[in-house]
Each structure stands twice: as C-alpha cells, then as structure tokens.
Chains A and B, each alone.
Chain A
C-alpha cells in the first residue's frame, strides 16, 4: 500500500510539473499483446507528456532477463503467475499488480471457410495438424489443452499436435498454412471487433480457466513517474476501448 501511495504521490508531482518532467518508461510486453500495445503506446504519448519504449517477447524469457538485471521498468505479462513470482521475490512492486486484460482463445485457420463449428471440426479429424502454444510455457497453451479436455478430444488430437514456443509462433504455423488449425489468441486475428483473415471459432469461456494477464511495476521503475502513469493509463477508457477491440475482456 505504501508503494501505491508513493506511486500516486510521484504521479501527482509529475502531473503538476507538466512537461518539465517528461520521462520515458521501458516496458516488457507479452507477445500476444503486441498489436494493442503499439496503439496504446502512441495514444499515451499523445495524451500525456511521457513516452514508452516497448520490448515484445515471451514472458518466461522476460522473467529470466529481469532476474538478471534487465532494465525493464514494468512487465505486461501473458499470465498472472510471473508477476506474482516477481513480486514475491522482491523484483516487482507487489501493490502495483493488476489484471490488464483477459485473453480469449480462438480456433483459427488461414483457410476462409474451414472453421465453422469448432468442436465438430476437431471431432471429425478432418485437418492435417493442430497448432497449440506449448502448455509448459504459454497460458494460451494451457487453455488450449483444457479446451481439448473439456471436449473429451485430448487423446484423439494428440497425434496431430504441433507446438509453438509462444503464441506468436503458434499463429505463424497456421498463418503459413503448415498447420490447418490452431488455438491462437483472438487478439492475433481480430481487428476492430471482427476476425479479418481466414476463419475462426471463439472458444466458449467456460471451456478453460480464464487467461488472466497481469501487469506489474518492476524495481527499476519505482521512481519513474512515466511508469506509474502508463500503468494508470492502461485502465483509462481510451485504452480499454483498444483492448476490447482486439478481443480481450477486462475486469
């Protein structure tokens, strides 16, 4: 709580100081949030005097880098586990943790007419490969496995599985046509509220545990007003509108 008070105080001072206090925040962002983040970062630069520099990648890799002195000031993770771990280990500011987006899983194909009823299609086995994110590494992979289990098709689908190291690579396997189908993030195939490419079936939310993506302020960013300002900005109406447009839910 003390940290939050400090952060708010810093923010207030920063806002009061105006342009004189323009700062830059260095933020690590989960790969699946790449597209919305780019837009939000631009809006943030317009709406405030601060700017952000972003690195996109796998959450697990960011964790290793942060623990070994990477200069990231905040992390927008693909899961809730990693920010919690960082907070527990003292690398992140515990009070700053919050869920910035809840991911939506979609069964997607680059072929325009392939996916209509996702469950029936998976049951029919009428496709070459099913691409999923590695469940050991990626929350979207865990959700994909839970979905297959909920359908009772996990064992039947096992021989057709190929795994991407993260959701970006999982998408790539399907996008290049090497796998007919894949469980990817809705944010990867959706723009302005609709699937713009190929065909997809949004997995009902009750088939898997929610994919909660948490953000956290990291130790190097504690005294940077731009970091607190950005995390606050993520909760603003304008930012939420972008996040929803890419198919994420929020709390």
Chain B
C-alpha cells in the first residue's frame, strides 16, 4: 500500500520524534523545575520565551533558524568553529529545530505537575534528610509522572506533525530530512492525491491513537 519512500519518510519521522522527545526530557525538565519553584522576577520573561513557539508561525521560526544556522548566523559560526559544519539540510539540524519547536509541549505539562505537587512532599522528604537530588528523583519525579507522560506524548505527537519548520531548513533530502508531512505536501503539490490520501490516513490514524492513549490513560495514572 505504501511505497518504500513513504516507509522511509515514516521511519525518519519516528526517529526524529523519538530523538527530540528524549533530548527534551533532559533539557526541558530542569527548566520546568526552575519555573515551578522560582520566585525570581525572571520567571515571567523566561516562561514567555518558552511559550513563544506556540504562537510564532512555524515558517517564521524555520526561516530564522535557517538564517541563524547558516554560515553567517551565530549558530552556524559556532558549529563551524566546532568542526561540525552547518546544520541545515541534516538530520541533527532538524533535531535542533524540533527541540525549539516542541519546547513548550515538554516544559509546560511538567511545570504544571511540579506546581500541583506543592512544597509539602519535598519538605517532608527534607525532614527525613533526603538530599535535594534524592528529593527530586525519589519524590518529585514519581509524583509528577502523569505530567511527564503527558509531556512526552504531546512532544512526540507535535514533532510528528511538524511541517513548516522542517520545510524551511530541511531541503527535502530522502532519508535525511524528508519526513512524512513533507512527503504528503509533495504529493499534494504534484497532484498525486491518491498517494497523499494514503499517507495522510496513516498519520491521521496514528495521531488519533496517540491522543486516545493520552486521554484514556492519564486518569489511570492519576489514581495510583
């Protein structure tokens, strides 16, 4: 039913979404923790910057990433001096872009979970002489698991649905940057509507299942 290039595009999409989600767990969690606990006056500005990708048009974000990661941009000059070369048109370029693009989808649910937990469990753990790191991993993280689950699923699904940013910096290279959404766009533009429908149906079913999992699974986690 699906051609080899379709399967390749789907495989690449899943690889991109998985990599992005794993990186964001590592990068997003400390920021969510800080945002949830801080009383700094920077909380507002930093929170707003984290939420920016929600409102910026993806093509705008993609264009500025293209310029920033280009040979004359600050990121591009950094990567060149580190000997990595330029990031646009590479898989890791897409990963970097996706991390920016999906940032709020990771940070906000985790931050909400940390905030909902409150200070008391941590204070109780502190009176039992748990170190800060210990408190974080044995108290805060288990209590916030539903938040992490939501964040992970949303980040993954949002990256799967990413289009505008990838289009701007990807260069449409098969197996490297041609993800499923770009492949569908190509089909539509080339008037190959049959192929577009098939691949779109796969993504539609997949997205529905992911959201179904999210909405039916989460309350169960809450009860435990």
Contact = CB atoms under 8 A, between A and B. Distances in A.
A binds B: yes
A188 B144 CA distance: 54
Interface of B: 63, 66-67, 69-72, 86, 88-89, 167-168, 171-173, 185-186, 188-191
A63 B188 CA distance: 10
8 contacts: A64-B188, A131-B171, A162-B172, A163-B173, A164-B171, A164-B172, A165-B189, A169-B167
B186 to A, nearest CB: 6
B215 to A, nearest CB: 32
Interface of A: 58, 60-61, 63-64, 128-129, 131, 134, 136-137, 161-165, 169, 172-173, 176-179
A175 B66 CA distance: 11
B94 to A, nearest CB: 13
Most buried by A among B70, B89, B190: B89
Contact of A136 (B86, B89, B190): B190
Given A178-B71, A178-B89, A61 B189 contact: yes
Nearest to B188: A64
A60 B70 contact: no
Contact of B86 (A60, A128, A161, A164): A128
A161 B177 CA distance: 12
Contacts of A128: 86
Contact of B172 (A58, A60, A61, A165): A165
Contacts of B72: 176-177
Nearest to B68: A176
Contact of A176 (B70, B167, B186): B70
B167 A165 contact: yes
Contacts of A162: 89, 171-173
A172 B185 CA distance: 19
Given A136-B186, A178-B71, A178-B89, 20 more contacts: A60-B188, A60-B189, A128-B86, A129-B171, A136-B190, A137-B186, A137-B189, A161-B173, A163-B171, A163-B172, A164-B172, A165-B172, A172-B66, A173-B66, A173-B171, A176-B72, A177-B70, A177-B72, A178-B69, A178-B86
Nearest to B66: A176
